[in-house]
Chain A
Amino acid sequence: MSTTLAPSATRRAPAATTRGGRSVGLAWLAVPALLFFIAFAVIPLIGVLLLSFSTWDGIGEISFSGLTSWRTVLADPGLPHALWVTFLVIALSWVVQTPASILLGVFLAGRQRYRAVLSVLYFIPLLLSSAAIAITYKALLDPNFGLGAGLNIPILVQDWLGDPVLAFGVVIFVVSWQFIPFHSLIYQGGVRQIPRSMFEAAQMDGAGRIRQFFSITLPQLKYTIITSSTLMIAGSLTFFDLIFVLTAGGPADATRVLAVDMWKRGWQASLMGPASAIALILVLVGLAVALLLRRVGGGSANAGASQQEGA
């Protein structure tokens, strides 16, 4: 990708002669994708802003009502709570998933004989839908008939989904169960791209495995860590289906993240105005996190894009 900058400078002159016909021909190719995206992402994005200033029950007429919805939402103690729960889910699932994914990725990038088998098995949780996973864990954790009760392991016999703290822990565990395989794959690819000569040189200098990991592997994985974290955080913001089926936001709102909060206000309570305000907050949180990560990464996960903009 580092090659995109140099050639474009030298090629600018000849391209200019054919420019007219050529870029119009190229531009048309992007139009179908653009139209879909405008119709179902850009317009809704504007729509969610407008709807947050209106009153709508989801079926009847929409009427503009100024700041009513925002006042309702901002005065509701449910909002800071949902923001806090969302933040906790993002932070804790990152803390659990990232070190585990890096370790597994490094291991899978090696040449162990059973690596191929492991790669297949690790991938299975990604194939199951969030609904299927939530349903499975609900049955597995059942205090009367679940795994703990069946195997007679007292510590596993708990009301996992009935206790606020335990239920939150279960959400983090299940999220990790579902997504660690995906992120370890990304890290596996990242590790493979590190030049081997770096490890060979370090080995000659007498660096042990742990030293190599912290001095070479981890710094070289910087951009992979940013890519993986961006996807992880953007994903965490939209953990709707898993939490919806597993706990429906309960018990006592312990797992009521913003996405679930939006659904409950919009479709359960038929208050689309306040639900739109919540949706807009979700969008803003997503953008803020993306900008923050971009700054941390000094150019970010989409290095190709920033290069293009510079070209």
Chain B
Amino acid sequence: MTTTTVSPPRRAARGRENHTVASRPNWFAGLVSLLWMLVVIIPIYWIVITSLKTQSNYYATNPLAPPGEPTLANYQLVIESDFIQYFINSLIVTVGAVVPAVAVSFMAAYAIVRSAGRSRFLRSVNSLFLMGLAIPLQATIIPVYLIIIKLRLYDSLTGMILPSIAFAIPLTVLVLSNFLRDVPKELFESMRIDGATEQSMLWRLALPLTRPAVVTVVIYNALQIWNGFLLPLILTQDPSRRTLPLALWTFQGQYSVNVPAVLASVVLTTLPILLLYVVGRRQILSGLTAGFSK
């Protein structure tokens, strides 16, 4: 993207080398994408500028006009109302669920791919996880609620972590095994000849080679769990155990008249995941597209 000085004809020529499809501008798709960009951008722009307005300013001014005197008072109000506590809860639940979910899924995906269908047990495990993709796991929420109560984990962060791990497994195994299948078998064979055990092939060969896929599923699952609403809604009651999306919802109830403050809390709950996305953007874009388009 540093080719700003290159004249249009040459750029088109370079494009033809590796992508004939778009060597001519595609006006129709371009127009659709610009329109869609407006649909995406306007609400986001509105969230950000409104969160910087005072309440009276919000009612008085043009909704799309930038704030005359931007204020951070809304953010201060949100942070002072236990935001830090909810943030820490969300962080514990997300990290506590994503790390084990990806680890156990990686081990399972490795076993499934390496057995190449020779083990009946692993074939059934794979089918079971694939079935899990089709079943809306939220439909199992009532027994999950009962199990969490019986385990005396109601109103605890662990109670939210355990089902989150299970819900993340099917898709994570699918994406990771899609990637692992592309690792050339010869690499494993030559390591085996060198006397490597299955364990060391798992951690020293398969894991580094599937790093982009691992980053993808880490970010994808982190996104799902960070934004999760149903489990915290059903498995907690104590306000001190709320995670951010649930806190956002209750906050909205309390401050329904103070729209700028509510929107400031929307921004604050999204910022951490935005940072994660910025860090892992390239990996997640390539990982997602490759992982799903197979």
Q: Tell me whether A109 and B21 are in contact in the complex, defined as CB-CB below 8 angstroms, given that A23-B119, A116-B1, A234-B133 are known contacts.
A: yes
Q: Tell me whether A129 and B136 are in contact in the complex, defined as CB-CB below 8 angstroms, given that A26-B119, A266-B142 are known contacts.
A: no
A44 and B291 CA atoms in complex are apart in Å by 29
Number of A interface residues at 8 Å Cβ cutoff, please give it: 127
Instruction: State whether the Cβ of B274 lies closer than 8 Å to any Cβ in chain A.
Output: yes
How many interface contacts (CB-CB < 8 Å) are there between A and B?
363
A34 and B170 CA atoms in complex are apart in Å by 10
Which residues in window 1-55 of A have CB below 8 A to B? Answer: 1, 3-4, 7-8, 11-12, 15, 19, 22-23, 25-30, 32-34, 36-37, 39-48, 51
Instruction: Output the nearest chain A residue to B289 by Cβ-Cβ distance.
Output: A189
Which residues in window 98-128 of B have CB below 8 A to A? Answer: 100-101, 103-105, 107-108, 110-112, 114-119, 121-123, 125-128
C-beta contact mask, A283-295 vs B, less than 8 Å → 1, else 0? 1001101100000
Residues of B within 8 A of A311 (CB): 116-118
Kindly specify which of B71-79, B81-89, B225-233 makes contact with the partner chain.
Answer: B225-233
Q: Tell me whether A290 and B134 are in contact in the complex, defined as CB-CB below 8 angstroms, given that A139-B262, A189-B288 are known contacts.
A: yes
Q: Tell whether, in the assembled complex, residue A39 and residue B111 are in contact, meaning their CB atoms are under 8 Å apart.
A: no
Q: Tell whether, in the assembled complex, residue A228 and residue B107 are in contact, meaning their CB atoms are under 8 Å apart.
A: no
Q: Tell me whether A29 and B181 are in contact in the complex, defined as CB-CB below 8 angstroms, given that A12-B118, A186-B292, A280-B139 are known contacts.
A: no
Q: Tell whether, in the assembled complex, residue B273 and residue A127 are in contact, meaning their CB atoms are under 8 Å apart.
A: yes
C-beta contact mask, B21-49 vs A, less than 8 Å → 1, else 0? 11111100110110011011101101100
Q: Tell me whether A227 and B139 are in contact in the complex, defined as CB-CB below 8 angstroms, given that A12-B118, A41-B132, A111-B23 are known contacts.
A: no
A10 and B288 CA atoms in complex are apart in Å by 33
Kindly specify which of A73-81, A161-169, A297-305 makes contact with the partner chain.
Answer: A297-305
Q: Tell whether, in the assembled complex, residue B111 and residue A30 are in contact, meaning their CB atoms are under 8 Å apart.
A: yes
Residues of A within 8 A of B234 (CB): 267
Main secondary structure of the interface of B (DSSP, over half): helix
Q: Tell me whether A309 and B117 are in contact in the complex, defined as CB-CB below 8 angstroms, given that A103-B32, A123-B277, A132-B245 are known contacts.
A: yes
Q: Tell whether, in the assembled complex, residue A309 and residue B123 are in contact, meaning their CB atoms are under 8 Å apart.
A: yes
A93 and B285 CA atoms in complex are apart in Å by 23
Instruction: State whether the Cβ of B70 lies closer than 8 Å to any Cβ in chain A.
Output: no
Residues of A within 8 A of B20 (CB): 196, 199-200, 203
Q: Tell me whether A130 and B142 are in contact in the complex, defined as CB-CB below 8 angstroms, given that A121-B40, A189-B293 are known contacts.
A: no
Instruction: Output the nearest chain B residue to A129 by Cβ-Cβ distance.
Output: B227
Instruction: Output the nearest chain B residue to A196 by Cβ-Cβ distance.
Output: B20
Q: Tell whether, in the assembled complex, residue A23 and residue B135 are in contact, meaning their CB atoms are under 8 Å apart.
A: no
A153 and B135 CA atoms in complex are apart in Å by 43
Instruction: State whether the Cβ of A252 lies closer than 8 Å to any Cβ in chain B.
Output: no
Contact for A44 among B58, B118, B147, B274, CB less than 8 A: B147
Instruction: State whether the Cβ of A71 lies closer than 8 Å to any Cβ in chain B.
Output: no
Measured between C-beta atoms, what is the minimum distance from A293 to chain B in Å? 9
A-B contact pairs, 12 of them (CB 8 A): A8-B117, A26-B110, A44-B144, A107-B30, A109-B21, A111-B15, A126-B223, A129-B226, A140-B46, A189-B288, A196-B20, A304-B178
Measured between C-beta atoms, what is the minimum distance from A302 to chain B in Å? 6
Residues of A within 8 A of B3 (CB): 113
